[in-house]
Amino acid sequence: MEKVLYKRLIWEGDSVYPMVGIIGRPNVGKSTLFNKIVGQRISIVEDKPGVTRDRIYSKTEWLGKNFILIDTGGLEPKSDDEIFTKMRLQVEAAIDMVDLILFVVDAKEGLISNDEEVADILRRSRKKVLLVCNKIDNFKEMPASYYDFMKLGFGEPIPISAANGLGIGDLLDDVIKNLPEKKEDYSDDTIKIAVIGKPNVGKSSLVNKILGEERVIVSDIPGTTRDAIDTFFEKDGTNFVIIDTAGMRKKGKIYESIERYSVIRALSAIERADICLLVIDAKKGPTEQDTKIAGYAYENNKAVIIIVNKWDLIEKDTNTINEYTRIIREKFAFLNFAPILFISVKTGQRVNRILEEIKKVWEQFNKRISTGILNNTVNEAILVNPPPAKKGKLLKIYYMTQVSIKPPTFAVFVNEPELMHFSYKRFLENSIRQNFGFSGVPINILIRKR
């Protein structure tokens, strides 16, 4: 593949949304605070140190400001316990990626040496830190321990009771005051591509091959790429940005639970992208982790192209591609609209087809269908398969119109929306695809009462 003109853009953080990490030693109420903010019991809450062993995250908002909140396991700086060692590596990884840290301490237990050690770690990170003093039930009479925490050097603590929901609003006011603004400068005609997938499936190698340049460090060790780097380039008059999702390596250490870490990186890249290249290792086949990452792309209404890499390592016969396609379609049934490319980054096999496919999918992502032509198709579909009746009531479809693009979204006006069964909604989607294509692109159908 010929070399393309490109420039590298270091994206400050991995998400178009700022990230906030909840950090602290075990059992200070981090998971309770996380659940209270996001409004769901996502983290397991148990009065036992070490219950939350992996970071858990959720997109949330306060006063119209969106951000991603990350819960972490307890940070035990000097623990030799294997579980706490793994948790510490996870927390260090979280510290690397967030824009703001909520350092949670326990007012009932007071300031202890572990709090001071965690504070030293956070100071070295040079990240913005808000000190949060939890388990205060009476704000009019602060315990003596509250003032002891000022010795940590992060200013006056923000008092809260996560269990009772006290002070959470004031805390969130301070959070959004300290969040950075994140903006992108790309024009509307720039195609933003997220390269997603498990570690060590060839994502960085694929980026290098497309660019014709050794831009990203490539290694057989999962997690070699740590920073998220945008690469802007132009090819045949089309502008592209490739978002290479980061891995987990730092200072010679490979963090534990690498595949879990890859999910939040992939989620962040997916949010910023238009089209996702889901890269799968041909030798290992589609896995549960691949399905999870693909699910994020689907839930975020992104266009998807499935890339099966390392195809040169597969022994083939006349039916190999057909059989592999069948397996992928079964595993990713929700991505039945996504084209599949079988490639080898190592040999260059079919890599030159990727940008061509991206441009085709981009065209479909931006496609508009006129209301008149659309309703002719809908009327023909209704004649073939009339709407169902429910409890003696017949669903009447009056008309359909396209209301937006990226992804293509259609509004269907009916007499009673509750009569629209999901299977008939899928029938209408299939009719649209059969007549207008939309390869690689999700379709949204909104049911509206006339």
Annotated binding residues for GTP, written as ranges, equal 24-31, 71-75, 134-137, 197-204, 244-248, 309-312
Look at residues 435, 431, 369 and name the one whose alpha carbon lies nearest to residue 402.
369
Alpha-carbon span 281 to 298, nearest angstrom = 20
* Sheet hosting strand 19-23, strand order edge to edge: 56-62, 65-71, 19-23, 100-106, 128-134, 158-159
Q: Cα separation of 181 and 16, whole Å?
A: 9
- Helix axis angle for 288-299 and 258-272, nearest 10°, is 20
- Distance between CA atoms of residues 197 and 280, nearest Å: 7
Tokens of 239: 């502008």
H runs (alpha helix) in 53-167: 82-97, 113-125, 144-148
Task: Give a three-class secondary structure readout of 308-363.
Answer: EECHHHCCCCCCHHHHHHHHHHHHCHHHCCCCEEECECCCCECCCHHHHHHHHHHH
**How far lies 379's CA from each of 201, 316, 389, 427, in Å?**
45, 45, 17, 13
Structure tokens of 266?
């992939």
Q: Would you list which residues are annotated within the binding site? A: 24-31, 71-75, 134-137, 197-204, 244-248, 309-312
